[in-house]
Amino acid sequence: MEHTEHLEHTEAPADMKKQIWRTFWILFALTIVDIALYFILSPSLPKNILFIVLGIVKAYFIVGIFMHMKFEKKFLSSMIVLPMLFICFFIWLALTEADYTYWLRWLFGK
């Protein structure tokens, strides 16, 4: 007996292979830029923010092209991406408290 299933899925674009390699070179270049910036710029807050922005750009390409999210339904992609906003809140919360802990360390030592 023939055993086949019908599957629902969103179609991949016709030039998928080209897009995959283009994404690879973008990720490759961004990583090189990361390492170059590490040695060119001296440690500072803007530099760290730049690294995080580059990380998010890389994440966009991995999730969008490699994980096919760019071609999925809007509803699905927002369902997965929007909960990540809670993480932003969590980061803000943690860093605010960490600043307080920094001054406690400064005051009481270690």
Partner 1 sequence: MSNTVTVETSKKSLWGGGRSPFSISYGKLMMWIFLLSDAFTFSSLLISYGFVRYSFPKSPPNEIVQPFTHVEENFVEQMQQQGLFSSEHWPLPELVFNHFPFIHGLNLPLMFVSLMTFILIFSSVTMVLAVEAGHRMAKKEVAFYMLLTIFGGAAFLGCQAWEWAQFITAGASLEGNPFGPTAFAALFFIVTGFHGSHVFSGVILNIVIYLNVLKGTYDKRGHYEMVEKVGLYWHFVDLVWVFVFTFYYLV
Q: Using alpha carbons, list the distances in angstroms from residue 102 to 42, 91, 105.
A: 22, 16, 5
What is the rounded CA–CA span in Å between residue 62 and residue 28?
Answer: 12
Give the whole-angstrom CA distance, residue 76 versus residue 39: 40
State the minimum distance, in angstroms, from the CB of residue 25 to partner 1: 10
Smallest separation, CB 6 to partner 1 (Å): 8
Footprint on this chain of partner 1 (rule: CB under 8 A): 3-5, 7-10, 12, 16-17, 20-21, 23-24, 27-28, 31, 34-35, 38-39, 42-43, 48, 51-52, 54-55, 58-59, 62-63, 65-68, 72-73, 75-76, 79-80, 83-84, 87, 90-91, 94-95, 97-99, 101-102, 105-106, 110
Of the candidates 38, 74, 72, the one whose C-alpha atom is nearest the C-alpha of residue 54 is: 38
Residue 2: CB minimum distance to partner 1, A: 8
